[in-house]
Amino acid sequence: MRKFRFVAAGLFVACAAPFAIAFEEPAQPAVVVTTSDATKETANDSKEATPAVAEPAPAPVIPTRVIGSLAWHTDYKFAYREAREQRKMLLVFFRDDKNPAYYDNFERVVLASPHLAPALGRVARVVVPAASTDYGRPLTNGQRERLLDHPSFSFMYRTPGLAMIDLASVGSGVYGRIVSAHPFMAHRAEGVGTVQTMLSLPPGTITQRALVYAMRTHPSAPQGANYGMFSGYLGALANNHSVLMTSHGVGHHDWGTRAGQVSASTGRSPSEVAAMTGNSYLLDAASELVTQWRNSPSHWVLMSPPASVYALDMVHSPGGAWFGTGIFAR
């Protein structure tokens, strides 16, 4: 049995390719209007049939269960609908019922924590069994794949854990996309602090949020991504530069142009860090990038102080390496 750690206290993106929509609701079955047997027309009735009075359709039963002080959906469709209609983020908890002791404990110690309740209360929440094939794509053998295996959840690596879908940023490029993926891994602890950090990340792509998450959870606690404003414009510049590095290697390619753009948009002095790692897993790669910057005094001095405006992004190269860029304006 795989063992995981959790604690009680406390970005693969092709530049032009959007993430797959996490879930498109299937067509709903038509509401059946029933009539009482007393008013149904029968074949032997010689009288003209009297139109039946339609009985109101019963309200759908929305399945939920309570974790801590909050109700969680247990049907992905209803959770997705709530998030979409109320313009919320959707937190998906893929639970492996083959390992109930661990997941029961995670719910009790982490998800039920009163410290998380305010942040969890602001998002739609759903518990989905990792083995669930509800809403999965149909397979050629007549079965359905697991929801967890849908391509939009690719950064879950087919592993149970937590995923976040942005249904709050209407009209943006991240709307309806997976923006955080935290598969439970034996070498990485998940707890109240890490979940709180994930819930508090600024809007952005999954790669941008992963790198910001790595900054905010690094043991050395750099402040460059903590207090300022995350800029989507700077994020696009960071992404473009990371793409450049996949072809030209680590460096500060065309920094003069980029620095001028940052200064013009923020009115502040810009700085930049860049690195690459061969780690294939998203969150691990993000963490390694931050650690590389931590081990370089010339980079760390740019990341440690708070920034008024900042952005980070990382890109997966065809060769398998991750290239990351951070831009800070002070």
**pLDDT for res 51:** 52
Mean pLDDT along residues 213-224: 96
Instruction: Specify whether 238 is located in the same domain as 305.
Output: yes
Instruction: Specify whether 94 is located in the same domain as 193.
Output: yes
Q: Quote the CA–CA distance of 132 and 23 in Å, as a whole number.
A: 14
Of the chain, the percentage scoring pLDDT greater than 70 comes to 82
Of the chain, the percentage scoring pLDDT greater than 90 comes to 78
Confidence of residue 85 (pLDDT cuts 50, 70, 90): very high
**pLDDT for res 119:** 98
- What are the tokens at 280? 């294939």
Instruction: Specify whether 171 is located in the same domain as 237.
Output: no
**pLDDT for res 69:** 97
Does a structural domain hold residue 15? no
Contact 128, 147 (CB under 8 A): yes
Contact 39, 50 (CB under 8 A): yes
Number of folded domains in the chain? 2
**pLDDT for res 39:** 39
Does a structural domain hold residue 221? no
pLDDT in tens, 125-178: 999 999 999 998 999 898 999 999 999 999 999 999 999 999 999 999 999 999
Instruction: Specify whether 95 is located in the same domain as 164.
Output: yes
Host domain of residue 179:
64-200
**pLDDT for res 11:** 32
Does a structural domain hold residue 293? yes
- Strand ranges for 123-219 from DSSP E: 124-129, 161-166, 177-183
Contact 225, 325 (CB under 8 A): no
pLDDT in tens, 91-124: 999 999 999 999 999 999 999 999 999 999 999 9
- What are the tokens at 324? 């990351």
DSSP letters spanning 27-70: PPPPPPPP--GGG---TT--SPPPPPPPPPPPPPP--EEEETTE
Q: Find the largest Cα–Cα distance for the chain.
A: 95
**pLDDT for res 57:** 66
Phi, psi of 323 (to 5 degrees): -115, 130
Confidence of residue 312 (pLDDT cuts 50, 70, 90): very high
Does a structural domain hold residue 47? no
Phi, psi of 214 (to 5 degrees): -65, -35
Instruction: Specify whether 280 is located in the same domain as 155.
Output: no
Task: Give the residue from 233, 228, 311, 239 showing the smallest Cα distance to 271.
Answer: 311
pLDDT in tens, 17-46: 334 334 454 333 222 333 344 333 334 444
What CATH number is associated with residue 274? Answer: 3.40.33.10
- What are the tokens at 58? 């019963």
In the sheet with 177-183, reading across from the earlier edge strand, the strands are 64-67, 70-73, 124-129, 89-95, 161-166, 177-183
Strands 177-183 and 161-166: antiparallel
Instruction: Specify whether 320 is located in the same domain as 254.
Output: yes
Which residue, of 179, 200, 221, is where some domain finishes?
200
Contact 137, 146 (CB under 8 A): no
Instruction: Specify whether 132 is located in the same domain as 238.
Output: no
Instruction: Specify whether 86 is located in the same domain as 193.
Output: yes
What CATH number is associated with residue 162? Answer: 3.40.30.10
Instruction: Specify whether 181 is located in the same domain as 271.
Output: no
Instruction: Specify whether 128 is located in the same domain as 188.
Output: yes
Confidence of residue 189 (pLDDT cuts 50, 70, 90): confident
Is pLDDT larger for residue 205 or for residue 43?
205
pLDDT in tens, 243-302: 999 999 999 999 999 999 999 999 999 999 999 999 989 999 999 999 999 999 999 999
Instruction: Specify whether 68 is located in the same domain as 188.
Output: yes
Task: Give the residue from 212, 193, 182 showing the smallest Cα distance to 282.
Answer: 182
Does a structural domain hold residue 51? no
Distance from the first to the final alpha carbon of the chain: 49
Strands 229-230 and 161-166: unpaired
Instruction: Specify whether 92 is located in the same domain as 182.
Output: yes
